[in-house]
Structure 1
Amino acid sequence: MAAAPGRGSRVAEPPGYHDQKADHLSRLHKIEGQIRGVTRMVDEDRYCIDVVTQIGAVTRALHEVALGLLDEHARNCLLTAARSEPDEAEAKLDELSLAMRRLTRM
């Protein structure tokens, strides 16, 4: 049984990002390395602006991954639901809207 939208829904089908999973994992591993680099910069007492610049780069990289996941959700999960189950499509649209709000909250 699927959980309520936004609550870590589990479905039998693979997630919408399934075909891009390797790309997402690769990007996330690079981001992980960037985070370690920022940690090292702070440990080494690097110049504040340089640290903040790197944090900005990490933040942008994470946003790009999130935007890719949202795009794949819309193109796969939402579109599939719209074609076969209008009520489910409405729920998926609400879920997408909520996720976009959470992503853009600063």
Structure 2
Amino acid sequence: MVGDQESITVVLNRLRRAHGQLAGVISMIEDGRDCKDVVTQLAAVSKALDRAGFKIVATGLRECLAGDDTSKEPMTQEELEKLFLALA
């Protein structure tokens, strides 16, 4: 992922949080925890992943608009739409 160090750090922190939450969900299922608790934690994992994805797309879009990445062709509108829809 190309981006400023702050954005990369934010994304990595969100992914690490989601990783820990997912491990917790697995443990909860293995321990036979209540369905409501499992679904609540699973929703938290999903939200953390969504936020990481949105941050990646937003960072990429900012770089595209600023023309920071001269090593690649600019993304087309269709490619940007596909990225956004993949997270929807």
CA separation in 2, counterparts of 1:73 and 1:92?
A: 12
The list of structure 1 runs, each at least 4 consecutive aligned residues, that deviate by more than 3 angstroms after superposition, is none
Could you say which residue in structure 1 is the equivalent of 2:59? 72
TM superposition shift of 1:103: 1.2
- The alignment-based identity, stated in percent, is 31
Alignment check: 8 A CA contact 1:78 1:93 kept: no
Change (3 A) 1:79 1:93: farther
Could you say which residue in structure 1 is the equivalent of 2:9? 22
Could you say which residue in structure 1 is the equivalent of 2:86? 102
Could you say which residue in structure 1 is the equivalent of 2:44? 57
Largest Rg, 1 or 2: 1
Could you say which residue in structure 1 is the equivalent of 2:34? 47
Residue ranges of structure 1 left out of the alignment (5+ in a row) = 1-13
TM superposition shift of 1:71: 0.9
RMSD, aligned α-carbons: 2.0
Deviation sequence 1:46-71 (CA, Å, 0-9, x none): 00011011111110111111111111
Deviation sequence 1:8-51 (CA, Å, 0-9, x none): xxxxxx71x34221221122111111000000000110000110
* TM-score scaled by length of structure 2: 0.81
Alignment check: 8 A CA contact 1:31 1:58 kept: yes
TM superposition shift of 1:77: 2.1
* TM-score scaled by length of structure 1: 0.69
Q: Summarize the alignment of residues 29-44 of structure 1 with structure 2, pairs less than 5 Å apart.
A: 29-44=16-31
